[in-house]
Amino acid sequence: MKYQNFRVALLALCCAGLVGGCTLRPVVDSLEPMPAATELLPDPIVTSGYDDTAPEAAPESDTDLWHRVRAGFGLDLDIDNARIRAQRDWYSRHQSYLDRISQRGERYLHHIVEQAEARDMPLELVLLPVVESAFDPFAYSHGRAAGPWQFIPSTGKHFGLEQDWWADQRRDIVASTEAALTYLQQLANRFDGDWLLALASYNAGGGNVSRAITRNRNAGKPTDFWSLELPGETMAYVPKLLALAQIVKAPEDYGLALPPIADEPYFASVETGGQIDLAQAAALAEISLEELYLLNPAFNRWATAPDGPHRLLVPASHAERFSEGLRNLPAEQRMRWDRYTIRSGDSLIGIARRFDTTPAVLRDVNRLRGNTIVAGRTLLIPRPAQDAGNYTLSADARLDARQNRAVSGRRQVTHTVASGDTFWQLARHYRVGVRELAAWNQMAPGDTLRVGQQLAVWTENAGGSTTAASRPEMVRRVSYSVRRGDSLYAIANRFNVSVNQINTWNRINGQRYLQPGQQLTLYVDIRDAP
């Protein structure tokens, strides 16, 4: 396969929350089905491992992984209702979409199938990353879900998927697949082996599904998935997977074709024995750096994480030469370390910013207990072996590509985040959507803004401020003292804001009653102030 051409594909979303406490995505209209990709923050470079050529002629069925997937189906795919048909009709009109997810999934699907088979799970579940992320390991949703299985941060941590400056294991193919299948099995056990309810819970949260079952039971109604009243997006989520499985089962019935995928391992895991520069690793394995990132998308930087796991996935046919190269590589050549002499007036955070690292990394590498440093002493600074621009799928490179992707009919300005800035406030000032502002910067609306952070804004209003010194002129922070008889609704009406915004600004978290004298922080457009 060739890796020169990069293109952006539609992505898919699921915000897989912990049982009873997940974050839901906006409702998707099931009457106008689209792959949930439209709900994701687009990533700039997600498909660099395939080209645009038509798929080769299908191999014999016993060598095609799709044949193995079909043989392992275990759900009732004879169900046919309007919700499934709506989703199936969309897929039927988009052969190119199936081509993309097949070509991208070629790296990962064999591993997922083997893991699901080992657990004796119905193989319809191996198609869930199509619904979740379109097999894009860099997919990131407005609900802060990441990776092929779209774990939110808290659920990822619950299942052992660590997230730090060096790596985000929600994107790790091996670790996230193990976590997702474990989670799905737990949900199925919770609902007595009902996989449709498990899938609905993966999307909406087990608590929401349990409450819907209780409501139906109390009303004397059936409690199967099709009879439950669930969030609109969840009502379309399960039919989307079933529609996809029906197409995989018999693509010719719908005028479609699935590009063949070889029924053999695409990658092998090689122990590295410690931290290593990814450019160095790619050279040892004799593969492109882009291919290495696509097989190891958890890594945010130019090197593997210092604390492990100390393994890299490489194409199976290259595993032996990579192992041999590691054995012959002197330890001092695994990483590049620069020595920096501390100067008077230096701070650890200032040095970290200068060398594109973090104070925590410098403390760890140099075994510092705090942020105190002494002029004249030296610090070890981890540095990439090649020019930073060569690490085209690192977090910084993906962010740069995303921020600078032109938006038709708009011009780009740069906003430097100042204290008190929020996505809502900035979106209102620049007259753009909150979600699109977050997406341009490869973030979610719920992500925290950092003072000094540079945001790309594609605006039709070219007069917007571009630095921290020129703050939005019309929005002011107001401290409001609650009066007797006040309600959130009344206050929101008075200041032309929403109840949800007041809740977010003040972390009220659904507090039912306000107390007279209680202080609320509001961000108010002075043109709307009472």
Buried b (16+ CB within 10 A) or exposed e, 415-439: bbbbeebbbbbbbbbbebebbebbb
Question: Are 456 and 440 in contact, with CB atoms under 8 Å apart?
Answer: yes
| All residues at 6 or more sequence positions from 330 whose CB lies less than 8 Å from its CB, including other chains | none
Can you say how many angstroms the Cα of residue 519 is from the centroid of all Cα atoms in its chain? 36
Q: Is 132 among the residues known to form the active site?
A: yes
Buried b (16+ CB within 10 A) or exposed e, 143-161: bbbbbbbbbbbebbeebeb
What backbone torsions phi and psi does residue 336 show, to the nearest 5 degrees? Answer: -100, 130
| Rounded CA separation 273/326 (Å) | 9
Q: What is the DSSP letter of 303?
A: B
Q: What is the DSSP letter of 52?
A: S
Catalytic-labelled residue, pool 39, 106, 124, 132: 132
- Name the nearest CA neighbour of 438 among 451, 422, 452: 422
| Beta strand pairing call for 475-481 and 140-141 | unpaired
| Rounded CA separation 217/223 (Å) | 7
Query: For the CA atoms of 291, 261, 117, 189, what is the dihedral angle to 10 degrees?
Result: 80
What backbone torsions phi and psi does residue 338 show, to the nearest 5 degrees? Answer: -100, 150
Q: How many CA atoms lie within 13 A of 340 on its CB side?
A: 23
| Rounded CA separation 352/360 (Å) | 9
Query: How many C-beta atoms lie closer than 10 Å to residue 311's C-beta?
Result: 15
| Rounded CA separation 170/179 (Å) | 9
- Name the nearest CA neighbour of 402 among 50, 140, 134, 25: 140
Maximal C-alpha separation, the chain:
78
Pull the structure tokens for residue 345. 């007036």
The position carrying tokens 């809740």 is: 503
| Rounded CA separation 473/433 (Å) | 18
Pull the structure tokens for residue 139. 């997919």
Beta bridge partners of 383: 336
What's the count of helices (H) and strands (E) in the chain, helices before strands? 20, 10
Q: How many CA atoms lie within 13 A of 129 on its CB side?
A: 33
Q: Please list the active-site residues.
A: 132
